[in-house]
Structure 1
Amino acid sequence: MTVDTWIQAGLALVGTAGGVVAARSARRTKRQENRDDFTEIKKALNERIDELKVTQAGQQEQLTGQGAAISWLVVDRRSMVSYIRSRGLEPPAPRPIPERARPYLDHLDV
């Protein structure tokens, strides 16, 4: 075997090794799969967070409406009691406020 044959064989081995390395790097690795799973999970979680924000906004709007209704009821009750007293009558005895409702009625701006 001559030197030219050895050089050609060495170049063929280097070329083959380069091809193997290129094929290996082109193949999807487990790390890439995990990274893709992470992005999918992150995307799903972000969608869920957006849904929860919409739900929370609806619940906040409902609570605001309920607070306005309670406030209106308190004002209406007070005006009815004052109307009854202005006519010289005695309004019915007030019923006790339930413990569960008391914290919400103490802070009303009425």
Structure 2
Amino acid sequence: MNAETWTAVSGGVVALASAGVTAWGARSARRTKRQENRDDFTIIVKELRTDLKSVKDELAVQKEESSRQHDRISDQDLAIGWLLTRVRGLVSYIRQAGLEPPAPEPMSDRARQYIHHIDV
């Protein structure tokens, strides 16, 4: 064998070895179905945690708003009660003075369900 033959044979051997290593590398780089499923599960769990966090944040905001509305309604209830007591006291004072209080304005049905038992 001459030098050119050795060069050709060694080039072929190197080419085959390179092809083999490339094929082995490509095979080992492939992801298995189990790995794909695990990654999909990880992504879904991450999204669920993100969604759960946003739901918790939204719920906290809603609870805070509900608390503010409850406080405001309680304050309004106290104010209406004070006004009713004041109006009854004024009507009693006017009647004790021998006068008759002016006729009340018509009341809506919606207001009537909250202000009843008023003798004005």
TM-score by length of 1: 0.69
- How many equivalent residue pairs? 91
Match of 1:59 among 49, 69, 74: 69
SS at 1:104 equivalent: coil
- The amino acid that maps onto 1:55 is E
RMSD, aligned α-carbons: 3.0
Match of 1:97 among 84, 107, 114: 107
Q: CA deviation at 1:95?
A: 2.5
For structure 1, the residue ranges without an aligned partner over 5 or more in a row are: 1-16
Question: Which protein is bigger by CA-based radius of gyration?
Answer: 2
- 4+ aligned runs moved over 4 Å, structure 1: 17-21
- The amino acid that maps onto 1:53 is K
For structure 2, the residue ranges without an aligned partner over 5 or more in a row are: 1-26
> Per chain length, whose mean CA-contact separation is higher, i.e. which structure has more relative contact order (CA < 8 Å, sep 6+)?
1
| Percent of residue pairs bearing the same amino acid type | 33
- The amino acid that maps onto 1:33 is I
TM-score by length of 2: 0.64
